[in-house]
Amino acid sequence: MINKQLLNPGSIAVIGGSENIHKPGGKILRNLIDGQFEGELYVVNPRAFAIEGAIYHESISQLPPVDLAILAIPARLCPSATRELARTKNTRAFIVISAGFSEESPAGALLEKELLDIVNEFDACLIGPNCIGVLTSHHHSLFTSPIPELDPSGCDFISGSGATAVFIMESGIPKGLKFSSVFSVGNSAQTGVEEILQYMDEHYEPGISSPIKLLYMESIRDPDKLLHHASSLIRQGCKIAAIKSGSSDAGSRAATSHTGALASPDLAVEALFRKAGIVRCHSREELTTIASIFTLKEPKGKRIAIITHAGGPAVMLTDALTKGGLEVPLISGREAEKLKSKLLPGASVSNPIDLLATGTAEQLGLVIDSCENVFEDIDAMMVIFGSPGLVEVYDAYEVLHEKMSLCQKPIFPILPSMITARDEVQYFLSKGHVNFPDEVSIGSAMVKVMNTPKPAPEIIVTENVNIPSVRGLIQKCSSGYQEPEFVQKLLKAASIPWFRRK
Amino acid sequence: MINKQLLNPGSIAVIGGSENIHKPGGKILRNLIDGQFEGELYVVNPRAFAIEGAIYHESISQLPPVDLAILAIPARLCPSATRELARTKNTRAFIVISAGFSEESPAGALLEKELLDIVNEFDACLIGPNCIGVLTSHHHSLFTSPIPELDPSGCDFISGSGATAVFIMESGIPKGLKFSSVFSVGNSAQTGVEEILQYMDEHYEPGISSPIKLLYMESIRDPDKLLHHASSLIRQGCKIAAIKSGSSDAGSRAATSHTGALASPDLAVEALFRKAGIVRCHSREELTTIASIFTLKEPKGKRIAIITHAGGPAVMLTDALTKGGLEVPLISGREAEKLKSKLLPGASVSNPIDLLATGTAEQLGLVIDSCENVFEDIDAMMVIFGSPGLVEVYDAYEVLHEKMSLCQKPIFPILPSMITARDEVQYFLSKGHVNFPDEVSIGSAMVKVMNTPKPAPEIIVTENVNIPSVRGLIQKCSSGYQEPEFVQKLLKAASIPWFRRK
């Protein structure tokens, strides 16, 4: 369960916190202080030390009441500390970053069960154990780096693996990706990915809650819950992208060893994601690229204009988009010729629209305006603009920034010169934008996004289903594998088409 | 044609060079000076200026003999300048960076033909026009940034598009990729990708020439030449990766507009690459990832050990490798238990081998040693080691560096913490290594490399071919499309199996 004490606590105590930022307890305290937590911040450690920004206590008994406790103490000490906090300090939210529970040994699993029973007894929230923590705009209760830029419209990110969450942020930050919250569920003793998603669904406020949800999972413990809440969030206007790893046999073995994940048949995962409308990703790069796409307007159709000052990347992008069923329609006619006359000799407007390497910021603006207002067969623009190092490209990025604010059609910026135009790209990102440094990565990601269906309706369609007949068949059958004849009868009764092999 | 004057000139004149680094002529002069060209460097410009590192002349007539001329003057002036240089200065190599030739207009195409006729008349080499230049260890005749680190064992890179070459370098440099040479062929008036590859093949010196060739192409003008020299280079020990873009219909249209590429049926390109043994890439990221793989030892087989301190990336990598037919074999038995006893509680050795987040550099070394010496079912190691920000990871990267030098089995470093462990990753790269920041990108790239066949034998097999019958059929047929009946007869005569539709 998720509660207010976890999300927006008035007070936090770090049990086992210290001044040593090379240890999880010290680092999480440092991140809380640097993150300017506005409530009361306490630290408990039998060894006395002074730290600016937190109030020191020698033991839990000395604490005043606290909403949220972060446990960074040995696993064996966690149950008793939790009980004391819940009973005497009215603590109703716990983040247990300590390891040494079910992920380590049968004895650890018993400790984890004990911990779980205590929090449940007090109707409290438990995140972890064996997690990196929770990051919200209210409190930075993570013991890792980097801490991404927080923004209410950034991604809500729930991860079944702590280190993977860290590396996903490493992949997203250089693209300009911002986060609204990060939840690392660790061993998910009480609260797993599905439960946090449920909370986000049940408390979703359009225009206030972030509309982007990212998930990393190695197992799906409750497929029905995931399907229901993911679909519901998407129907409310959210976009969800997720990695479910461990899809191969060896990967499944690896996942079992890592987070104790039970194997889910990959076809079932694939079907669940499609039914829910979740965009399925297979790598950190893909997840953060798709998350970046989610931050921009959704194209109304599949027809993309590619605007570029370099031919090659536009050709590769065209290949990637059209192979995936999107269109890069030919642009021609009187208006196209009119636009062409305003560009450099040798420029092309047939789509990709190639300004040439010496194309100017002003010409870029003209082309974007034409795609926005004149060329009706265009649903979205992808703009490739780097620098071969002759001149600075601030002016082009300023135009891109302005047009992205003004245009109704979405514009996807592909700025490849991460070395030569590093300062200009940083300037562009500082205006709140994302960047896609590789044109084929965004092309393939866009294909995936556009080809993911909307959530399937939850209403069960019983038209043409002979319900008494189906019920009769089911009642007669024994458990286990069924004979083909039985299955055929069942399909026929349910009017599900099937093919007889000739 | 390629000659010594192009590759290793004793003297270079930049015609149209200036002190203005915001213009191609000024930037290429600057790059030549910064690249410490050791021969005589001249610059010709009717407007006088002084620049340290180059000798100024007002006109070509004032120059002494020069080996290589770089033309950065308007297209219409190029033919006469070329003739004067070839005739009076014995210049036998020309790099024409000027645009305004066949890529721009029919009039430009005539100029290009005139230029070509002149260089051919003098048996000289022409690179371009409309290119960014040539980069070798001897001279940095490129007008773009960034200039990558040059190394004799780095990549030889030939590009049919200048800006794309720039962006491919942008993608490779952060991975630690080094280059031996870069050739931008522009309009390929005389010398195209195939001709440069031919030169590299005919002058290949094992142990001296770079064994890595990268190509970017939008058209294949001479498939036979490409096939022959690519296969030959690979048989001599080279590895070749290439992008041939414009593979979709719309992409092909884009390529035609960009470099005047003629459409090559994509199936034919695919077949040619497989026959030659070229690894086909579809993006800059993929090309530079595969190039980075090429810089490391080649695995003797398909069995990979994944060594990690973070479970999630290892699971995703396992999925990527095994879906592509590589193996992540289970490691078990007495030796595995012995290794496990030296790791932290909760660590796993079953492959992926998970040291846990708190695993030490020393443990990393022990695991690598076991994979090298003890576990015989392992052909290569992939090591995932990032940082959640608690401690510096120099010691782990030092171990990785040492083991990579000592081990017979190849080790692929996956260091994902490009922000948090930026300094450590830079330190690692500074030792001459490459890095793969995303585990699935290297996984998919590795699959592609391992699944690319060796070059097909060039011997034509005529066993079971009824040569007189084939010859008779061919002689009787008219040009153009043939009737199915004719094709069937031909296939039968050549003993090529085919299927009759029932």
Interface membership of B340 toward A (CB under 8 Å): no
The pLDDT value given to residue A199: 97
The residue that leads in pLDDT, A256 or A384, is A384
Q: Compare CB distances from A311 to B163, B286, B351 and report the shortest one's residue.
A: B163
Q: Compare CB distances from A420 to B146, B247, B391 and report the shortest one's residue.
A: B146
Interface membership of B338 toward A (CB under 8 Å): no
Subunit contact B419:A146, Cβ cutoff 8 A? yes
The pLDDT value given to residue A253: 78
Tokens at residue B258, please? 């960009």
CA distance A158 to A154: 13
Tokens 């260890």 belong to B137
Omega before B129 within 30 of 0, i.e. cis: yes
Which residue in A163, A114, A159, A124 sits closest to A143, CA to CA?
A163
What letter would DSSP give residue B324?
T
Taking each helix axis from N to C end, the angle separating A422-430 and A394-406, rounded to the nearest 10 degrees, works out to 30
Interface membership of B216 toward A (CB under 8 Å): yes
Cβ contacts of B338 within 8 Å, gap of 6 or more: none
The string of pLDDT tens digits covering residues A281-306 is 999 999 999 999 999 999 999 999 99
Tell which B residues from 433 to 452 touch A, by Cβ distance under 8 Å.
437-441
To test the contact with chain A by mutation, choose from B257, B289, B327 the residue with the greatest count of A C-beta atoms within 10 A, namely B257
The string of pLDDT tens digits covering residues B369-413 is 999 999 999 999 999 999 999 999 999 999 999 999 999 999 999
CA distance A157 to A284: 13
The residue that leads in pLDDT, B94 or B346, is B94
The string of pLDDT tens digits covering residues B420-439 is 999 999 999 999 999 999 99
Q: What mean pLDDT do residues A29-50 have?
A: 97
Tokens 């001897």 belong to B138
Interface membership of B144 toward A (CB under 8 Å): yes
The pLDDT value given to residue A496: 84
The pLDDT value given to residue B251: 80
Subunit contact A416:B100, Cβ cutoff 8 A? no
Q: What mean pLDDT do residues A114-142 have?
A: 97
Position A329, amino acid:
P
Chain B residue whose CA is closest to A148:
B419
The pLDDT value given to residue B101: 95
Tokens at residue B322, please? 């095994």
Q: Compare CB distances from A246 to B159, B255, B319 and report the shortest one's residue.
A: B319
Subunit contact A318:B161, Cβ cutoff 8 A? no
Please report how many Cα atoms fall inside a 13 Å half-sphere around the Cα of residue A270, on the Cβ side: 6
* Confidence tier at A251 by pLDDT (50, 70, 90): confident
Range in A203-207, A281-285, A494-498, B495-499 with the lowest mean pLDDT: B495-499
The SS3 assignment for A366 reads helix
Subunit contact B311:A284, Cβ cutoff 8 A? no
CB of A137 within 8 A of CB of A192?
no
B285: which chain A residues are within 8 Å (Cβ-Cβ)?
438, 440-441
pLDDT surpassing 70 at residue B340: yes
pLDDT surpassing 90 at residue B257: no
CB of A179 within 8 A of CB of A150?
yes
B282: which chain A residues are within 8 Å (Cβ-Cβ)?
316, 319-320, 440
The string of pLDDT tens digits covering residues A76-110 is 999 999 999 999 999 999 999 999 999 889 999 99
A23: which chain B residues are within 8 Å (Cβ-Cβ)?
390
A345: left (phi over 0), alpha (psi -120 to 50) or beta: beta
CA distance B438 to B415: 8
What letter would DSSP give residue B129?
S
CA distance B37 to A52: 57
* Confidence tier at B500 by pLDDT (50, 70, 90): low
Q: What is the pTM of this model?
A: 0.93
Chain B residue whose CA is closest to A99:
B346
B266: which chain A residues are within 8 Å (Cβ-Cβ)?
none
CA distance A63 to A351: 67
Residue B10 burial (CB < 10 Å; 0-12/13-18/19+)? middle
Which residue in A29, A4, A31 sits closest to A16, CA to CA?
A29
The string of pLDDT tens digits covering residues A407-427 is 999 999 999 999 999 999 999
Q: What mean pLDDT do residues B65-87 have?
A: 98
Interface membership of A386 toward B (CB under 8 Å): yes
Subunit contact A345:B100, Cβ cutoff 8 A? yes
* Confidence tier at A263 by pLDDT (50, 70, 90): low
The string of pLDDT tens digits covering residues B24-62 is 999 999 999 999 999 999 999 999 999 999 999 999 999
Tokens at residue B215, please? 């190509």
The SS3 assignment for A485 reads helix
A103: left (phi over 0), alpha (psi -120 to 50) or beta: alpha
The pLDDT value given to residue A212: 98
Q: What mean pLDDT do residues B476-484 have?
A: 82
Residue A360 burial (CB < 10 Å; 0-12/13-18/19+)? middle
The string of pLDDT tens digits covering residues B152-174 is 999 999 999 999 999 999 999 99
pLDDT surpassing 90 at residue A126: yes
Residues above pLDDT 90, as percent of chain A: 86
pLDDT surpassing 90 at residue A495: no
- Taking the CA of residue B248 and the nearest CA in chain A, the distance in Å comes to 5
Subunit contact B320:A282, Cβ cutoff 8 A? yes
Subunit contact A420:B145, Cβ cutoff 8 A? yes
The pLDDT value given to residue A218: 93
The string of pLDDT tens digits covering residues A329-349 is 999 999 999 999 999 988 999
pLDDT surpassing 60 at residue B502: no
Task: Give, in order, the Cα–Cα distances in Å from B224 to each of A275, A297, B189.
Answer: 49, 47, 19
Subunit contact A386:B170, Cβ cutoff 8 A? yes
pLDDT surpassing 60 at residue B501: no
* Confidence tier at B262 by pLDDT (50, 70, 90): low
Cβ contacts of B216 within 8 Å, gap of 6 or more: A312, B157, B158, B159, B160, B161, B164, B165, B168, B242, B243, B245, B287
The string of pLDDT tens digits covering residues B199-231 is 999 999 999 999 999 999 999 999 999 999 999
Tell which A residues from 412 to 431 touch B, by Cβ distance under 8 Å.
416-420
The pLDDT value given to residue B309: 94
What letter would DSSP give residue B279?
E
The pLDDT value given to residue B457: 87
The SS3 assignment for B93 reads strand
Phi, psi of A95 (to 5 degrees): -115, 115
Position A394, amino acid:
Y
Q: Compare CB distances from B441 to A173, A285, A439 and report the shortest one's residue.
A: A285
The pLDDT value given to residue B222: 95
Subunit contact B313:A164, Cβ cutoff 8 A? yes
Q: What mean pLDDT do residues A141-159 have?
A: 97
CA distance A14 to A24: 11
Chain A residue whose CA is closest to B327:
A250
CA distance B452 to B444: 13
Q: What mean pLDDT do residues B114-139 have?
A: 97
Residue B312 burial (CB < 10 Å; 0-12/13-18/19+)? buried
CA distance A210 to A336: 39
